[in-house]
Amino acid sequence: MNKRTFGLVAPVVLWLSLFLIIPMAAVVVVSFMQRDNLGNIIWNFNFDNYARFFDPLYLGIYWDTIWVSLISTVLCLLLSYPLAYYITTVSARAQKLWLIAITIPFWINFLIRTYAWVILLRTQGIVNSLLLDIGLIREPLQLLYTDGAVILGMVYTFIPYMVLPIYVALEQMDKRLLEAASDLGASRWKSFWHITLPQTKTGIMTGSVLVFVTTTGMYVISDILGGAKSQMLSNIIQNQFLGARDWPFGSALSVIFIISSMIIIGLFNRAMRSKYDASREAKA
Amino acid sequence: MNKKWIALLLTGILALTVLAGCTGGSSQPTLNLYGWADNFDPKMIEKFEKENNVKVNYTYFANNEELLAKIKAGGANYDLIQPSDYMVATMVQQGLLEELNKDNIPNFKHLADKFKNPEYDPDNKHSVTYMSGVTGIAYNKKYIKEVPDSWEDLWNPAYKGKVLLLDDNREVIGMALKKAGKSNSSRDDAEINAAVNDLRKLVPNVLAFDTDSIKQKMIQEEAWIGTLWSGDAAFAAAENPDIAYVVPKEGSTIFSDNFAIPKGAKNKELAEKFINFMMDPQNSATNYEAIGYSNPIAAAKPHHSKEYNENPMINLTDEEMNRTEWLADVGDKIQLYDRLWTELKSGQ
């Protein structure tokens, strides 16, 4: 490495080591320690915290977390793909407006947006009042503090993360392929299935990984919209640090969480790549 | 529409997310107050800021354990904190609190005698009581026709999905222990397990676990009945007159929130000035009228309104007070409490 490249890379290396590598290393080290009753860390190397994760209690919560995130990701995808597709079909000016509309919610604090759902969904909230007024229901529905409310909050929050990458993929697609397909007599559905979908796989993949990994790490939504009844893994981690005075176990859970996220991303990458290759081979 | 534009858009989103945590600086001295939510009349904080030409930065914690974790991770960022009774003892034991200089707090003399020299902090060396209350049952008279008198009433199957519980393992397990006639700080495995098994039967009735915004859920009539702190109940009843309050016959938990200064605080004198300001009889009367808790300043009584002095949620009777018990530290049993609490909340 010559001097100039070093000069260019040094700030990034410093940044990464200060804010990523050192804190991560601290978490890993603490995860192998013990703690006393007052929550002080005892420097005694052991694997107990990792063994504790395999208790059915924590495995069950881990499974629930994966499940909620999976449902949220699939719903996000189902809602976002048609929207992204639609946006690519309108005029350039309208596209810009659509993209701005999708990003505007990010200008408002995430917590405020989540509490706004409380106002909408509670028993005396806007949705229930409306349904009561038009006579569709007689008793207010319990919309809030349910698993459905948690998933709704997740999907709402993360839709932009799904729409934007899919939009970019659709936008970059070679439209001539579709013309060629239609010239050769392929139906619109067939050309979507064999051309558009494989061509936008990177967008789908990026969006899904972004949404899935972020939802597994989300704990605010399950607290506010779920009434702290359904617990996600991140709620447990938060509780170990802020409630149970058990930083070593919280650290161990964090390490497991990071590793499992990395495995999921890796698997997804590989699955997408091999599928993509297979479809290309089939065509060839 | 080009790619550059999209890239810019995405970068903008990320930048906004990062910058959300930043706040601007200021040359005024700042008192960093870390307390319970809605624990002060905002007007009184403004008055203090104006009188002393300072800024008060008031942030919240949801429970004592969170406070402890934050203070241990770097308490010097805060000048004034509000630990509850047993947490004062824990913090003193760990050397996390400064000794108070009473010369800076002349209004200490106005504090009612029963709050002076408490068990958890003899001679008030490290703390001064700010407020005190008990945990009881708040209910909405519109939906609950029979006046509840026992914790057992929360288990009534007619209240399915309408019960609120505090999001605090010591409070809730302590409540179930009291219901069974045990101490709220039991260290006996069998007693604790039995209490949690009882709570499992309560879970289908539970609308939500909440501490910070439990009052709003009562006021908005999302819930019919729940475990509330007496001051929160008084606050809720002021907003929604259908809300009433009882201290169940089995007895309940009494608590006090205190002022204390963490070790190494940068503005210790300013913090003491704030304590003194809040203990002034006139100031404290205005403050407690707004927040709904009972005022521990004996000399403030004549400054309060008639409604306040006659409110049963604020002025609990001696008979009610005699049925209450302080939470005590449970040592290594806290692990059992935490585990059972996690099981309870995740429905396992």
Same domain, B49 and B121: yes
Q: What is the pLDDT of residue B163?
A: 97
Q: Which residues contact B39 (CB under 8 A, 6 or more apart)?
A: B82, B130, B131, B257, B291
Q: How far apart are CA B252 and CA B229, in angstroms?
A: 10
Q: Which of residues 197-236 of A touch B (CB under 8 A)?
A: 227-231, 236
A39 in a structural domain: no
| % of chain B surpassing 90 pLDDT | 75
Containing structural domain, residue B84: 30-132+256-321
B1 in a structural domain: no
Please report residues of A whose CB lies closer than 8 A to that of B347: 230
Q: How far apart are CA A268 and CA B330, in angstroms?
A: 46
pLDDT band at B162 (very low <50, low <70, confident <90, very high): very high
Q: Report CA torsion sign: B234, B238, B239, B240.
A: positive
Contact B208 A64 (CB under 8 A): no
Q: How many CB atoms sit inside 10 A of residue A269's CB? A: 12
A5 in a structural domain: no
pLDDT band at B17 (very low <50, low <70, confident <90, very high): low
Q: How many domains does one find in chain B? A: 2
Write the residue in A40, A60, A171 that is nearest to B346 by C-beta: A60
A193 in a structural domain: yes
A69 in a structural domain: yes
Q: Phi then psi for B335, rounded to 5 degrees?
A: -65, -40
Please report residues of A whose CB lies closer than 8 A to that of B17: 106
CATH code, B123:
3.40.190.10
- DSSP annotation of B209 reads E
B111 in a structural domain: yes
Contact B10 A38 (CB under 8 A): no
Q: What is the pLDDT of residue B76?
A: 66
Please report residues of A whose CB lies closer than 8 A to that of B69: 39, 241-242, 245
Same domain, B106 and B244: no
Q: What is the pLDDT of residue B12?
A: 56
A81 in a structural domain: yes
Same domain, B34 and B125: yes
pLDDT band at A278 (very low <50, low <70, confident <90, very high): low
Same domain, B202 and B332: yes
> At residue B251, does pLDDT exceed 90?
yes
Q: What is the pLDDT of residue A228?
A: 86
| B115-127 tens-digit pLDDT | 999 989 999 999 9
Same domain, B225 and B341: yes
Same domain, B63 and B101: yes
pLDDT band at B346 (very low <50, low <70, confident <90, very high): confident
Among the residue ranges A91-105, B60-74, B151-165, the one predicted with the least confidence is B60-74
Contact A244 B16 (CB under 8 A): no
Q: What is the pLDDT of residue B99?
A: 96
* Residue B17 vs residue B225, higher pLDDT: B225
Q: What is the pLDDT of residue B340?
A: 95
Same domain, B168 and B285: no
Same domain, B332 and B197: yes
Q: Which residues contact B216 (CB under 8 A, 6 or more apart)?
A: none
Q: What is the pLDDT of residue B24?
A: 45
* Residue B169 marked in a binding site: yes
CATH code, A90:
1.10.3720.10
Write the residue in B1, B3, B90 that is nearest to A38 by C-beta: B90
The Cα-based distances of B218 to A79, A220, A265, B290 in angstroms read: 35, 21, 43, 18
Same domain, B189 and B307: no
Bridge partner residues of B206 (DSSP): B163
> At residue A40, does pLDDT exceed 60?
yes
Among the residue ranges A2-16, B34-48, B168-182, the one predicted with the least confidence is A2-16
Read off the pLDDT of each residue in B145-156 and give the average, rounded to a whole number: 96
Read off the pLDDT of each residue in B173-202 and give the average, rounded to a whole number: 97
Please report residues of A whose CB lies closer than 8 A to that of B20: 109
Contact A39 B222 (CB under 8 A): no
Q: What is the pLDDT of residue A123?
A: 87
Q: What is the pLDDT of residue B14?
A: 55
- DSSP annotation of A231 reads P
DSSP notation for B2-20: -HHHHHHHHHHHHHHHHHT
pLDDT band at B295 (very low <50, low <70, confident <90, very high): very high
Q: How far apart are CA B12 and CA B200, in angstroms?
A: 47
Contact B346 A109 (CB under 8 A): no
Same domain, B238 and B142: yes
Kindly state whether A112 is in contact with chain B, defined as any CB-CB distance less than 8 angstroms.
no
Write the residue in A123, A228, A236 that is nearest to B209 by C-beta: A228
Write the residue in A109, A142, A227 that is nearest to B20 by C-beta: A109
Angle between helices A92-103 and A147-172 (to 10 degrees): 150
Read off the pLDDT of each residue in A140-154 and give the average, rounded to a whole number: 92
> Which chain B residue shows the shortest CA-CA distance from A90?
B1
Q: Phi then psi for B127, rounded to 5 degrees?
A: -150, 155
In contact, A51 and A274? CB cutoff 8 Å: no
Write the residue in B1, B5, B66 that is nearest to A242 by C-beta: B66
B13 in a structural domain: no
Q: What is the reported pTM?
A: 0.84
Write the residue in A39, A96, A160 that is nearest to B68 by C-beta: A39
Q: How many domains does one find in chain A? A: 1
Strand order in the sheet with B55-61: B55-61, B30-36, B80-81
A12 in a structural domain: no
Q: What is the ipTM of this complex?
A: 0.83
Same domain, B333 and B262: no
> At residue A77, does pLDDT exceed 50?
yes
> At residue B11, does pLDDT exceed 60?
no
In contact, A163 and A103? CB cutoff 8 Å: no
Please report residues of A whose CB lies closer than 8 A to that of B220: 122-124
Containing structural domain, residue A201: 55-283
Closest CA to B286 of B114, B30, B34, B46: B46
* Residue B139 marked in a binding site: no
Closest CA to A235 of A62, A49, A33, A117: A62
- Per the listing, tokens 């399950």 go with A222
Tokens of B101: 């200089």
Q: What is the pLDDT of residue A267?
A: 84
Q: What is the pLDDT of residue B16?
A: 52
B63 in a structural domain: yes
Please report residues of A whose CB lies closer than 8 A to that of B16: 106-107
Q: What is the pLDDT of residue B119?
A: 86
Q: Nearest C-alpha of chain A: how many angstroms from B207?
A: 7
| A173-220 tens-digit pLDDT | 988 998 899 899 888 899 999 999 988 988 998 899 999 999 999 989
Q: Which residues contact A51 (CB under 8 A, 6 or more apart)?
A: none
Q: What is the pLDDT of residue B5?
A: 59
> At residue B348, does pLDDT exceed 80?
no
Same domain, B188 and B220: yes
Contact B1 A241 (CB under 8 A): no
Please report residues of B whose CB lies closer than 8 A to that of A122: 220, 222
pLDDT band at B26 (very low <50, low <70, confident <90, very high): low
